[in-house]
Structure 1
Amino acid sequence: MISYAPLFKTMKDKSITTYTLIHVHGLNSRTIHNIKHGKGISTFTLEKLCVALDCTPNDVIEFIKEDNQKI
């Protein structure tokens, strides 16, 4: 499972709001909605978030393995 908890922590630490991501950095509001609801994002979006927040993918997403998850 992918968690976006690191993204919200990074945003808070850097004082960047979702409004800023949408209106300054050009992320789609639907993308922000999907993130808030735990849906997947593309690597293109991940890259845009990393550029906007000046961070790495680990500062945006976290992989959490579920006990019954098969590989």
Structure 2
Amino acid sequence: MTVSYKKLWKLLIDKDMKKKDLETAANISNYTITKMNRGENVTVEVIGKICKALNCTADDIMEFIDE
């Protein structure tokens, strides 16, 4: 099972935000953004920070895809 963050990238577009803006707002590193770009796993803490910064839930920014 893999993780897709396509919903997050779409949400950023809808909010007229760049990935750099998300880094600042959620206080996460560029490395974390890079991992998410590659579809790699990140911690629940990171997901929580992003959700708090964007005022959304985990379902709004990610989904699991069966391989």
TM-score normalized with structure 2 length: 0.88
Rounded Cα–Cα distance in structure 2 between residues aligned with 1:24 and 1:5: 19
Rounded Cα–Cα distance in structure 2 between residues aligned with 1:52 and 1:16: 12
The answer for the alignment partner of 2:56 in structure 1 is: 55
* Cα RMSD for the two superposed structures: 1.1
Moved over 6 A (4+): none
Amino acid at match of 1:33: T
Number of residue equivalences: 66
Rounded Cα–Cα distance in structure 2 between residues aligned with 1:8 and 1:43: 18
TM-score normalized with structure 1 length: 0.83
> Which structure's CA Rg is the greater one?
1
Identical amino acids, percent of aligned pairs: 32
Amino acid at match of 2:15: K
